[in-house]
Structure 1
Amino acid sequence: MKNYIVHDEWNIIEEGFHPAYNEVSESLFSIGNGRMGQRANFEEDYSGKSLSGSYLAGVYYPDKTRVGWWKNGYPEYFAKVINSINWIGLHIHVNGEILDLATCKVQRFQRKLDMKHGLLMRSFDVKLQNGVEIRVKSTRIFHLFQSETASLKYTIQVLNGQASLQVASYLEGDVVNRDSNYDEHFWNFISSGALDSQLNVTMKTKKTDFIVRADLVNSFILNTETLAPKQSTDGAYVSETIAIPLTPEDVFSIEKRVSMVTSQNHNEAELVAAGRANIEQVSALSFDELKNKQALAWGNFWNESDIEITADVASQQAIRFNIFQLYQTYTGEDSRLNIGPKGFTGEKYGGVTYWDTEAYCVPFYLATQPADVARNLLFYRYQHLDKAIENAEKLGFSNGAALYPMVTMNGEECHNEWEITFEEIHRNGAIAFAIYNYQRYTGDRSYVENYGLEVLIAISRFWAQRVNWSDEKEKYVILGVTGPNEYENNVNNNWYTNTVAGWCLKYTLESIETLKESDPTKQITLFEKVNFKEEEAVSWQHIIDHLYYPIDSEQGIFLQQDGYLDKEQVLVSDLPDKERPINQKWSWDRILRSCFIKQADVLQGLYFFEDQYDLDTIRRNYDFYEPRTVHESSLSPCVHAILASKLGNEAKAYEFYLRTARLDLDDYNNDTEDGLHITSMAGTWMSIVEGFAGMRVKNNTLSFQTFIPKTWDSYAFHVQFRGVKLFVRIKQHDFELINKSNQEINIIFNGEEISVKPRA
């Protein structure tokens, strides 16, 4: 763990320069607006440890996989969101020496992410090797109010006498990814220009042919005078340069405003006009006006989505950090976009879509944003249904069966590990559950009827073909899978996978019957479209009635998979600290033979389907599996926090909350330098709202079963439910409910039915 981030309720603060942690800080201080984002790379040159990253949502490259074999159905590429045009860059020379914090003496340094207002700020004093001392302040904004634009202001003062200053502000299109296989470059140069105080660079991705155009306007200001720079163009590198003398009485600043437009969002012929229009709009505003508009946009978000915690600054900072990073990754404005596990904060996982979105992120957006945001996440999968059917066909499935990819950018499978690509089929279940979760929470059946049921039928066809009849068991079984616990590969009858498959078949049949009753004409049209036959329903019901679920009757637990108890049953508490994390200390063979669990598996199913099991069943399984879970997935602690809360184990619930909430801030797993764990950040919100506050939907009614950690005075949050906005505050010995809408709502609060009238 690292503990160099200052605890603060609204800010992430790094006091003092920590070169060894710089890549960690670049991740932590990342900033974006849902359309694009960037690691907290320095504007000026830096020769120390750094991972450069500037990303555009949906712009990707199909990188070659590094496998020496290929099997039928194996993905031909690994898609990744790639490092794009560098617009923040500054080359700064002071008396001929380049400003580089790796070679200067850093006398003072602070980096701050202002989450309340959506600003990244940095200030430092340095002494260069030539003896000149300077002070720098910078502020960077990725505009939430106009998501194709961003801006920054960079101010320089000399502290000890006159100096000669030369500054070049540039756009650079010839950028690379650190993780590119075989050091391949992903971009082709198209054009660049410098005209009328405006720079531009246009690049095109190889293979995918995404065109990206960056337009940049610089302002060079000495005190109050705007200076005229010299322009230069050299292929994919364009710049403006200024050279001036600087005294301690002077303040020199560079303001940069950029537009980044892509062929994903504009016709190729419109890119120039779109970029110029964006630049004109943001250039018409002063930097202070841009900051004010940004503060207003973030203020509107926080008014609906903040969680307040009193008397625990570390917890308060952590939950706001998680919410902030999640929202600046995905705002819901475009149904073609989704939530990559690293968002705009790093290269690992390629910025692509996993099942994390449906299992962990959908609940956050359902409760904090208008319903169409979560609906867009569901519609993303509907738009990829044809590709999911193609993916299943590659693996030998037929009749419209769909297997959604484990990893995707455009609907095609692009994961490069066989045990994940072929075996981790439970992702289909998470997508089906998200449809159900949306319907349950919003009360809106129109999505299921118009789009969701088509997806459910295709997924159910997959399950019906993926099972096979076992004469020995006289049951249907599902063989050769990997469950959520990825420390088990190629197992038979993973309980969670079998459970989610059976539930999905049942929910699909129920949804068909509901549509038959509510709109027979629409049901007939749907059946014709997907060529659905009634005998399919009969077959599915037979599978539901005869699906095998591994259990251990003696202990009263569901077995993670067949043969799990054949493993040596060692607890995590028996592991020496020097052998953890096991994914970094053990061989893969040893991990696979162990009983240790990477993340919630059986417990994931109990979280999803808790209404089907009594409290004793949940407790027995929790007490058995939690001590065997090493939590080496970022997605693990939140599920355990929610179940521990339900079981009244408040100490464990709080322990798991802190682990998920400060996972990146404290670098628990020593991997924050690769980027943040964006999708698990939604799990942090779940730990409080579904864990500590026990929020559920029961019989179409919002229900809470609350507790409060002993170290907190109170916690408060906002939820939206079926047109009602509700503010909930839980105190040590009291609570507060405020209905911020104009309609009354009945809820169940700690077992009591309460009518909450609109606020007067």
Structure 2
Amino acid sequence: MTGPEMKAGIPGPGADPGWTFCLDGYDPLLENSVESRFAISNGFLGIRGARATSRGQRWIVPARTYVAGLFDTSGTEHATTGLVPAADWLRFRIMMAGGPLLHHPGDMSSHHMTLDVRQGALFSAGRHFDSPDLGIQVRTLRLASISDRALGLQLIQMEIEQGEVDVAVEASFEGVELGLVIDRLDQDLGTWRTRHSGKRLAMATTSSLQIDGRDLEPAARGPLTWSWNWKTRPGQIATFQRFVAVVRSDAPDLDPGPEARDKLGSARHVGWQDVVAAHKAAWGRRWHNSDVEVDGDAKAQRMLRFALYHLNGAANPADERVSIGARALTGDNYHGHVFWDTEIFLLPFYILTWPEAARTLLMYRFHLLNGARAKAAAMGWRGALYPWESADTGADVTPEQVIGPDHRVIAILCGKLEQHISADVAYAVWQYWQATGDDAFLLEAGAEILLETGRFWASRAQREADGRCHIRGVIGPDEYHEHVDDNAYTNVMARWNIRRALDIAALLREHWPVRWISLARHLGLEDAELAQWLDVAETIAIGRDPETGLFEQFSGYFALEDIDLSHYAGRSVPMDVVLGRERTQASQVVKQSDVVALLGLLPEEFAGAAAETNFRYYEPRCSHGSSLSPAMHGLVAARLGDAEMALRYLRQTAAIDLAETHVAADGGIHIAALGGIWMLAVFGFAGLTLRNDGIAIDPRLPAGWDSMVFRIQWRGRHLKIAIDQANQSVEATLEAGEPMALTVGGDPHPLGRAAMLAVRFRKPGAASC
């Protein structure tokens, strides 16, 4: 690993502040948010950033460890399926004759934590001199390997600065009975099972302690527990290391213990140095493919790096049975459930920088397609209606009720009414195929998803006396308004979905007729039904004024109370709390703008000045009550040429997880908002769009950004794109793949491997307000 070495060879964090996030001291009010922000994850194993050295017994709270796909229910009526935490394998205590060296989290004389996002590792350093008998420095390293996702590593170095006393070190697991049923607990292996879902978990572990480079034999051993005794002396260095290997089994009759022991044995054989080196190399590859370099705005650079770190750590391309929850593996808010966030705010990043991970996330939706069919059928429709909140079975796991800010019970209607999720999944399928050209995925999974979601919308939209097809009684992304009719986002996305399903049917007929015959037979699709789909697409109500191009968010929206949100600037609570639910529902205040989301996803629906008209209408009416909202607004603002507004939205999005005064991240970081930061930078400031014949770039960098450099992948090509603000130029390098076309500022240019393409572009004028 790069950076200064600790004594005894344990690596330390890098020195470049552009790659590190640091925290000094202890603030109990911010501790939970800190644990989210400093979490480490590899897409399979997630560990919150709790302190490395445990406190006195009454202060111990397990450092939550999450395993992707480890879902269970309580078995009670109205129980919610949720991600079950695994045992905390990081517990470590220093004991003296009078008890633990630390009795309270604030007992350390100094404490410094560093998240090194380049290395994907969490470091800490602390000193303890409050005891008259012992002065000690403690340094730690923690990681979840992305070269072998089963592995976690903990290294702790203790340097004795004063005192000759008898001490003991205890290393153990905490929370072994927390939510899981114990099958067995051996010294080096624990196995558990969920109570109801039939999953099993194994954690194999080994620990060792060296004093001045020599192994010290444990004084006692027990199930997942070790302790060592020795007498300290000044200058002495004790080094503790612990591996854990974690394996999940989805089959109740398959014991994951042997595989966990095999993984652990391999790690012990190569040693922690090689495990660290392989982990570093894997992170190096991820950063090579995904980094966004900004020159001229150090704060924005750090925001992007924080976002990219968590995005790269959230996915596991080896497991098609899991997806990314709303808080990834950094916390338990939303029970680990998967929302539309994944397809709309995360898939773009993975599609263009890590297509293997994107494919896996979409295969998760394909494997759960039968659950989506069952939901649609249960509600009286055809095709596939994906669950609003998804776990591991395909069933909708949206809670039915929640306690509101006023402590009243509120019914949750999203599970039944927020149906745009099916179009969102279809949108991601189409974007992936367009960007990768992965025909094998299309034939295996993508076409069936598109056809079944298109079928759902064709049955959901009903023709009425006015000759139009209407979708009534839904919730759009703006969840402040419920039971609305003809929601613009829902209806336009439904129309888009149906049209892409028809495109796929025609494509299969022409290019893969055997597959079409097989799939049409499997789905019971006939020409008469396809004709009905086309009729729905041509007649669905979308609420657009043909003269102005202004969309009405839903039927009757323009008649609602228009509230000036500038009068509520500086508020610290959502607008539905300020106004009350009833007044909010009767107003034009939106949680997030459905029409602005359409502008971001389907800009072709807004011809001429319509994009400007719609954005300027809805932007001041949006309260940004959702963490998803600011980034989408920033993306659209950048495309419209208002780069300074877009930069404000970038900072607002990053503050959700990074602002020291916020505790919004207590239950985990907002992974979709972090995906939105990448989208804002690449789709907004760089002006990247995907076309059938290539890629287009139309830069709109903020005034303070001197340059921006990023890499993307498109249909087997690897491109490096550099935007120079001062010279108004784009430099593009085709690092791998066949020649292609790159459009810059509206003009196409051939891009080959022989030479770098350098093109000047016109600086767009700022959009008027």
Aligned partner letter, 2:234: P
**CA separation in 1, counterparts of 2:664 and 2:577?**
11
- The DSSP-based 3-state class of the residue aligned with 2:299 is helix
Matching residue of 1:33: 42
Question: How far is the alpha carbon of 1:445 from its aligned partner?
Answer: 3.8
Partner of 2:164: 162
What is residue 154 of structure 2 aligned with on the other side? Answer: 152
**What per-residue deviation string (whole Å, max 9, x for no partner) do you get for residues 550-571 of structure 1?**
2356864101101111221123
Q: More displaced, 729-738 or 683-692?
A: 729-738
Q: Mark the CA change 1:104 to 1:425 in structure 2 (over 3 Å): closer, same or farther.
A: closer
- Would the alpha carbon gap of residues 574 and 305 (structure 1) be closer, same or farther in structure 2, given more than 3 Å must change? same
Residues 553 and 506 from structure 1, CA distance in 2 versus in 1: closer, same or farther, beyond 3 angstroms? closer
Aligned residue identity for 2:479: E
Give 1:426's aligned residue. Answer: 420
Change (3 A) 1:99 1:415: farther
Question: Alignment length, in residue pairs?
Answer: 725
Corresponding residue for residue 11 of structure 1: 20
Matched, 1:686 2:649: no
Counterpart for residue 297 of structure 1: 282
Match of 1:288 in 2: 273
TM-score, normalization: structure 2?
Answer: 0.90
Q: Structure 1 length as normaliser, TM-score?
A: 0.91
User: Alpha carbons of 1:41 and 1:161: their partners in 2 closer, same or farther (altered >3 Å)?
Assistant: same
**CA shift digits 1:517-536 (9 cap, x unpaired):** 22222212111111112221
In structure 2, what is the Cα distance between the partners aligned to 1:669 and 1:547? 43
Residue 386 of structure 2 corresponds to 404
8 A contact 2:33–2:663 mirrored in 1: no
Residue 312 of structure 2 aligns to which amino acid in structure 1?
Y
- Go from structure 1 to structure 2 and tell me whether the alpha carbon gap of 1:429 and 1:689 turns closer, same or farther (over 3 Å shift): same
Q: Which residue of 1 aligns with 2:237?
A: 251
Given that 2:722 and 2:732 are in contact with CA atoms closer than 8 Å, whether structure 1 keeps it comes out as: yes
Q: CA–CA distance in 1 between the matches of 2:516 and 2:239?
A: 64
Shift of 1:54: 0.5
- Displacement of 1:462: 1.7
Does residue 60 of structure 1 match 2:71? yes
Q: Which has the higher contact order (CA 8 A, sep 6+)?
A: 1
| Conserved 8 A contact 1:557-1:620 | yes
Instruction: Indicate whether 1:223 and 2:212 are aligned.
Output: yes
Residue 225 of structure 2 corresponds to residue 242 of structure 1: no
Q: Deviations over 1:541-591 (max 9, x none)?
A: 221222112235686410110111122112321224346432554533333
Write out per-residue CA displacement over residues 413-455 of structure 1, whole angstroms, 9 at most, x where no aligned residue. Answer: 1001441000000001101111211222123444333322222
Query: Using the alignment, how far apart are the partners of 1:602 and 1:403 within structure 2?
Result: 22
Match of 2:367 among 383, 386, 391: 383
Aligned to 1:311: 296
User: Larger deviation: 373-382 or 345-354?
Assistant: 373-382
1:704-728 CA-to-partner distances (Å, cap 9, x unmatched) read 0002211122111001111211111
Q: Percent identity?
A: 26
SS at match of 2:644: helix
Equivalent position amino acid for 2:345 in 1: Y
Rounded Cα–Cα distance in structure 1 between residues aligned with 2:190 and 2:19 = 36
| Bigger mean CA deviation after superposition, 357-366 or 741-750 | 741-750
| Aligned residue in 2 for 1:596 | 589
In 2, Cα distance between equivalents of 1:25 and 1:669: 10
Alignment equivalent of 2:198, drawn from 189, 209, 217:
209
Matches within 5 A, 1:609-758: 609-666=602-659, 670-732=663-725, 733=727, 734-758=729-753
Structure 1 equivalent of residue 358 of structure 2: 374
Secondary structure class of the residue paired with 2:108: strand
User: 1:582-632: CA deviations, max 9, x gaps?
Assistant: 255453333322321112311112222112321410110000001111112
Give the aligned CA root-mean-square deviation in angstroms.
Answer: 2.2
Residues 213 and 260 in structure 1, CA contact (< 8 A), matched pair in contact too = yes
C-alpha separation between the residues in 2 aligned to 1:524 and 1:742? 34
Structure 1's 638 and 101: CA in aligned 2 closer, same or farther, altered over 3 A?
farther
| SS class of match (1:589) | helix
Secondary structure in 2 matching 1:422: helix
- Aligned equivalents of 2:661, 2:387: Cα separation in 1: 29
Q: 1:106 — aligned with what?
A: 108
User: What is the distance in 2 between the residues matched to 1:441 and 1:498?
Assistant: 25
Say whether 1:337 aligns with 2:322: yes
- Counterpart of 1:94 (choices 69, 93, 96) is 96
Shift of 1:101: 6.5
Q: Compute the displacement of 1:62 (Å).
A: 2.0
Residue 462 of structure 1: which of 456, 463, 467 is its match? Answer: 456
Q: Which residue of 2 aligns with 1:264?
A: 250
Q: One-letter code of the match for 2:210?
A: I
- Work out the CA distance in 2 between the residues paired with 1:192 and 1:579: 48
Q: Distance in 2 between matches of 1:129 and 1:223?
A: 23
Matched, 1:393 2:382: no
Report what 1:506 is aligned to.
499
Alignment partner, residue 489 of structure 2: 496
**SS of residue paired to 2:650:** helix
Deviation at 1:168, TM superposition (A): 1.1
How far 1:475 sits from its partner (Å)? 1.4
Q: Does the 8 A contact of 2:22 with 2:115 survive in 1?
A: yes
The one-character-per-residue Cα deviations of 1:702-755 (angstroms, maximum 9, x if unpaired) are 100002211122111001111211111112223322221253222001222222
1:414 paired to 2:397: yes
Aligned counterpart in structure 1 of residue 29 of structure 2, from 17, 20, 25: 20
